[in-house]
Structure 1
């Protein structure tokens, strides 16, 4: 395992073996925690074609401190160089690694959650489907922040009416690069909203922004989860646009509160570490 360290936000950078080469991760550990922690995988935004670990810094650091949890940000494959299914396969590889190495990291492999914004929200949702279908690793909760869930774009909102900072043209360009074969747009791991099998997925928090063309499809996905019996909470923030949502402090507080309830309420932090 190749590692490097950073002092900012108690970060630790490393790389692991991925499906197509090395996969970079950035770990965020809460500054005051001295107990066995849950693990949260975080996937940054960027429309499947951009973004980096740096884009996850604000939400990942906040979630690490306020949940508290060890947050693992994942530098997944980007299109067009590596289109679908490279990104969700990287996500699953990171989840498997986290589950296997949780104890070594001072964490509980049975308290693993996923979160992400924009395209990262798609990957977090897709990962819950993949983990269920492949019998692991078990995921306890999912938090989706302004997620891109519908490559068909049939549920996209009216950008002008919503005063959205994200346009249909931008979404179309991202999906064109991520899913170069049109038939893939109905694959459930590319389009969680197209899946007809939401039963058995982990409890969900879906956070949306009022001024975002994506909020309708995200809330439709929440309705599908609820219909399938998945405990689901939806929070829409008024006056907020897509780009702002993943760094909006009230939204981050909502995510941390959700993860605390799902990852800590069932098991009090009662296992001290010898650090």
Structure 2
């Protein structure tokens, strides 16, 4: 373990057994003041093929410090070397690890949130669906920042009307081909949440979209689908923000913190001896 410290956070890297290879988790824990913390799993962006724990640092540290919460940032396996379902299964193993170690971290395994940006937003909502279906982990809230949700790419915004997008549609198509090499996987509910007809029972959601993002339409469409399925859902669009910038956007992260504070409850004073 590699331990760092900041005035308010203890940060350490932990290696665990993933679905196909060992993966690294980065733990962000506020200095103990006798409270029991909720748990938040966080997934970085990178289009399923790139990115890493350092890309998640601003979001993970902000959520940990300001909620406050024990945040576990997941260094999931990347495509094309490790295509679907490796990444979501890595995420589920990370959730199991967090639950198993909650007591040692003075955290509450019954108050779990999950969040992510870009591909991490896809993984966050898909891992929440896996947890719902397998029934051994209860998640109470999900926060998705500019998520990738639609491998069919039939709901992209008009590139001519999006000011200076971070990427082109052809790049997004390459990410999905690397992550989902079998075309039939592009309708799987754990890979294509916007195509899923099984959204009932997912945790309450906050979905943040960016004005200058080709994907803002599918993010907002997913919010509507969740609401139709009976899932309590909030959706915000951040003006003058781009897809990549949303991962560290101060207003978006403030909304995530407010959402988790509300949905996961304020930390309670520990009573155990």
1:152-163 to 2 correspondence within 5 Å?
A: 152-163=152-163
Matched residue SS, 1:209:
strand
CA distance in 1 between counterparts of 2:271 and 2:61 reads 22
Shift of 1:7: 2.6
- Aligned equivalent of 2:241: 240
Unaligned runs of 5+ in 2: none
1:7 and 2:5 matched: yes
CA distance in 2 between counterparts of 1:132 and 1:32 reads 30
CA distance in 2 between counterparts of 1:57 and 1:165 reads 20
Native 8 Å contact 1:159 1:166 kept in 2:
no
Matched residue SS, 1:42:
strand
Shift of 1:273: 7.9
Shift of 1:53: 0.5
1:124-179 CA distances to partner (integer Å, 9 max, x unpaired)?
A: 01011111111131101000000000000000111221112222111001001111
Native 8 Å contact 2:146 2:216 kept in 1:
yes
Shift of 1:101: 1.4
Matched residue SS, 1:170:
helix
Unaligned runs of 5+ in 1: none
Native 8 Å contact 1:34 1:273 kept in 2:
no
Native 8 Å contact 1:150 1:194 kept in 2:
yes
* Cα distance change of structure 1 residues 31 and 159 upon mapping to structure 2, 3 Å threshold: farther
- Aligned equivalent of 2:26: 26
* Cα distance change of structure 1 residues 83 and 108 upon mapping to structure 2, 3 Å threshold: same
Native 8 Å contact 2:34 2:269 kept in 1:
no
Matched residue SS, 2:269:
coil
Q: Calculate the TM-score normalised by the size of structure 1.
A: 0.95
Matched positions, count = 270
CA distance in 2 between counterparts of 1:74 and 1:202 reads 19
The ranges of structure 1 where at least 4 consecutive aligned residues each deviate by more than 6 angstroms after the TM superposition are none
Aligned-residue CA RMSD (Å): 1.4
